[in-house]
Structure 1
Amino acid sequence: MALTDGGSPAGAPGTSAGGRVRGVVYADLLGEVVVGDRVLLNCNALAKDLGTGGLALVVAVLGRLPDVAPTEVGHLVKARYTPLQAVVLGADEQDSPHHAVLEEADNIDGMPVVAADLHSSLPAILAGLRASNPGARAVYVMTDGGALPAAFSRTAAQLREHGWLEAVVTTGQSYGGDFEAVTVHTGLLTARLVADADVAIVTQGPGNLGTGTRWGFSGVAAGEALNAAAVVGGHGIATLRVSGADPRARHRGISHHSLTAYGRVLARFADLPVPDLRGQPGVPDELAEMVTVQAAELVGDAPQLRRHEVDPAGLMEALRDCPVRLSTMGRGLEDDPAAFLAAAAAGRHAAAVLDRIDLRG
C-alpha cells in the first residue's frame, strides 16, 4: 500500500485548497504509481468524510496495464467479483505447503482466543497480554467486517515491526496477511498450527459498520468468532467494548455491541474479563459503577459467559508504553481510558489462561 496525491473537485471533503487529496494505491494489485500518472479514483468514502478510510482509492492507472504478474500458485479469490479481487495462496488449500498440517486439523489445544468488536482494541489487548507475559506469541486473525486489505492497518504493520505480533492471518474476504485462510475456523487453526501462536486475537480490520440498530453492525462477528474458537477447541475470551466518552448513549458504559454479540450471538462458553475501573485515572466513579452493573446483568442473562474480575493495576502504564498510537473513534488513551483498559484486561486474562495450560509441551 502507498499514499499518493491526486486531483479532485475543489471543495470536496478532504480536498485541499489546490484541489488535491490523499489517496491509497495497493501496489500489489496495481503496480507502482509514479508522478505524472493519470489514475481513476473511487472517492465514495472521501465524499462521506469517513473517519476511517476517508481517502481516495486508486482503482486503475489510465493508459497502461498493471505491471503485476498473476500468482503462479494459489486459487483463493478474495474481495470476490469486485474489480480489484485478489488471488492468493491459502494456508489451507491444496497447493499450500501447510495443507497437510491443516487437512484434518480440528483442535487448537485450548489456545486463548480473544475476540473484540473494534480494530482499535488490538494494541490494547496486546499491551495487557505483554504486561503479564511479554514472551507470549500473539497472532492477529483478521476478519472481513472492516477494511479488507491487511495493508490498510498501519497498527498491525507497526505491531509486527515492534515484535508485538508474530503474524497476521487474513480470513474470509480480507487478504494480504502473512497467511491467508478461508474461514475464521481455518484462520485459528493456521494461527496455532502454522504460525505457532500462543494467543490469537480476532477482530475486524480498520473501520466499523453500524446502523444504530440491535443487529445491524459488523461487530456481531465477535460473538461468531468465539463460537468458531469453541468449535476448534479454543478458550474463548470476550473483550468488552466500553466507553466513557462516546456521545452516543448506546455505547456509554458497556456498548450495546458487546451486549448483543456476547449476550445473543455467542452460543458457546467464553470468559468475560471485567476490569475494576474504580480509581483508575480519568475514569469517573459513576462510569466504573455502570460497567460493573451492566456486566452483572449481561452475565445474568447469558449463562454461556463466565465472568472474571481483572485487576487493572499497571495496565495504564502498559498502555502508555504501547509502541503504536492508541485511538478509538478518534479518541486517545487520555480521552477515553476506560475503552483501552477494558481491552487490556482481556489481554491480561489471556495471559492468565495461558499460564494454566501447556502449549509448548
Structure 2
Amino acid sequence: MSRSARLVFPIVIHWRAATVLQVRSRWAGAVEYAVRLAHVDGVAAPEEGVEEPVRALAYPDLVGEAQPGDTVLLNTSALQRGLGTGGLALVVAVPDRLPADPPPGPGHVVKARYTPLQAMVLGVDEQESPHHEVLREADTVDGLPVVVADLHSALPAVIAGLRAERPDVRVAYVMTDGGALPVAFSRAVAGLREAGWLAAAVTVGQSFGGDLEAVNVHTGLLAAAHVLHADVAVVAQGPGNLGTGTRWGFSGTSAGEAVNAVHALGGRAVASLRVSEADLRERHRGVSHHSFTAYGRVAMAPADVPVPRLEGAFGTGVLRQARELAQGSGGRLRLVEVDVDGLDAALATSPVRLSTMGRGLDADRASFVAAAAAGRHAATLL
C-alpha cells in the first residue's frame, strides 16, 4: 500500500423506527422501554422475522419521555452486534413528542461534542459556576486517597471495602469516558447514591450527567476534594470497556493516566488490581494484563498496589504476579498485602448487584475481593 493510500471504513449506525409498548424499568436519568421494531423495505430487523419486543434505553434529559404507542427513532447498532454491556437499542428521538427547550441558564461546556446528540452542561469550574472561585486557583487535593480501577464493576466493591473499616466514609466517584458516557447508564451509581454509599458522581471528559461536570480527571479530583469534601475518591470508567485483545488497545489505560493525575495534584493513589479467577481469557486470569500495562507502563507516578491474601494456589499466583508488577516498576509501585477477613460479608451488604463481565460474586469472587481490598487499604490512609 502506498503512503498516500487511505483505508476508509464506514462509520456504522443502524437506524430503525419502533413503537413503544411499555416501560420495563426506570432509574435515575434513564428509562428502559419494550418496543416493537418497524419493518423497513429492504432492511431486516436484527433477527429476521422475529416479532418479539426488544429493549430500548432512553435518557429523558436528552430525548424527553415516550408513552406507549409513540413512535421512537432508534440506533440499533449495538443491538445488532449483540454487544454485552451496551447491547440494546438506544432512543435517539421521540419525533411526535419533542421535549420543551430547557430554560435559559449558565454553562457552556459541551459533552459528546460535534455529535448529533451533543449536550451543553455547566462545568463545575467554569466562570458561571458557583464553585469557580473555589477552584480557580486550586492546585492540590491535599493527600486525598484516590482508588483507581480499570472496570466500572469495581466501584461498589471498593466502597464495600472502605465501609468495612469506615462506615461513615464520604466517597466521590470520578467517572472517566472510556466506557458509557451518560452516568445514567449505570444502575450501580443510581443505587449507590440512593443507599447513601456514594456522596456524588463527577463526570469528566466526554462523560456527562454527574452531580458535577468537569473538564478532565484533574478538575474532577479537585472538585471531589474542594467542592464535595470527599474523604476518598474512586476513579474508573463508566460501564463497558473497549478492548481489542492487544497489549495497548483497551480503554482501561486511562487508569494509569489517573494515577499520574493523582500524583500531580498531591493525592495518594491506590491502584486497584483487576483480578479474575473465572475469566476464560488467559490474559485476564489472575492479575489482568490491563493492570500490568496501565500501572506498570502508563503510570509514571507512585501508587500503592493492594493485593488480597487469597487462599490456595490461585492466591499464591496472584501475589507472585503482583510482586512482578511492583518489582518491574523500579520502586515506584508499593505492594501492600491486605487481609481479606470480613470482606465477603462486606461485599454481601452491597445495595447494588455485583457483576463483572456478566459474572456475579459467586462466579468470580476474586474480582470483587481484590477491589474491596483496595478500598480497605484506602481506609487506612484516612
Q: Which amino acid is 1:137 matched to?
A: R
Give, in angstroms, the shift of residue 68 of structure 1: 3.8
1:321 aligns with 2:353: no
Give, in angstroms, the shift of residue 63 of structure 1: 3.8
Change (3 A) 1:257 1:9: farther
Q: Which amino acid is 1:339 matched to?
A: S
Matched ranges for 1:70-89 at <5 A: 72-89=105-122
Provide the rounded CA distance (Å) in 2 between the counterparts of 1:79 and 1:289: 44
Provide the rounded CA distance (Å) in 1 between the counterparts of 2:98 and 2:375: 46
Q: Which amino acid is 2:350 matched to?
A: C
Give, in angstroms, the shift of residue 14 of structure 1: 8.3
> 1:239 maps to what in 2?
272
Gaps of 5+ in 2: 1-29
Give, in angstroms, the shift of residue 5 of structure 1: 2.1
CA contact (8 A) 2:183 2:209 kept: yes
The counterpart of 2:318, out of the listed 269, 278, 291, is: 291
> 1:61 maps to what in 2?
94
Give, in angstroms, the shift of residue 39 of structure 1: 1.2
1:128 aligns with 2:128: no
CA contact (8 A) 1:169 1:181 kept: yes
Structure number with bigger Rg: 2
Deviations 1:10-63 (CA, angstroms, capped at 9, x unpaired): 895589953321111111011111122211100011111111011110111224
What SS does structure 1 have at the residue aligned with 2:335?
Answer: strand
Change (3 A) 1:162 1:102: same
Deviations 1:139-182 (CA, angstroms, capped at 9, x unpaired): 00000000000100000010000000000000000000000000
Provide the rounded CA distance (Å) in 2 between the counterparts of 1:291 and 1:3: 39
Moved more, 43-52 or 254-263: 43-52
Q: Which amino acid is 1:129 matched to?
A: L
Deviations 1:187-243 (CA, angstroms, capped at 9, x unpaired): 000011001100000000000000010110000000101100111111000000000
1:178 aligns with 2:211: yes
CA contact (8 A) 1:71 1:87 kept: no
Cα root mean square deviation, aligned:
1.6
> 2:33 maps to what in 1?
4
What SS does structure 2 have at the residue aligned with 1:186?
Answer: helix
Tell me the TM-score normalised to structure 1 length. 0.93
Change (3 A) 1:3 1:71: farther
CA contact (8 A) 1:185 1:229 kept: yes
Tell me the TM-score normalised to structure 2 length. 0.88
What SS does structure 2 have at the residue aligned with 1:221?
Answer: helix
1:21 aligns with 2:42: no
May I ask how many residue pairs the two structures share in their alignment? Answer: 348
Provide the rounded CA distance (Å) in 2 between the counterparts of 1:120 and 1:71: 37
Matched ranges for 1:17-166 at <5 A: 18-69=51-102, 72-166=105-199
> 1:188 maps to what in 2?
221
Moved more, 69-78 or 306-315: 69-78
Percent identical residues = 62
What SS does structure 2 have at the residue aligned with 1:164?
Answer: coil
1:332 aligns with 2:360: yes
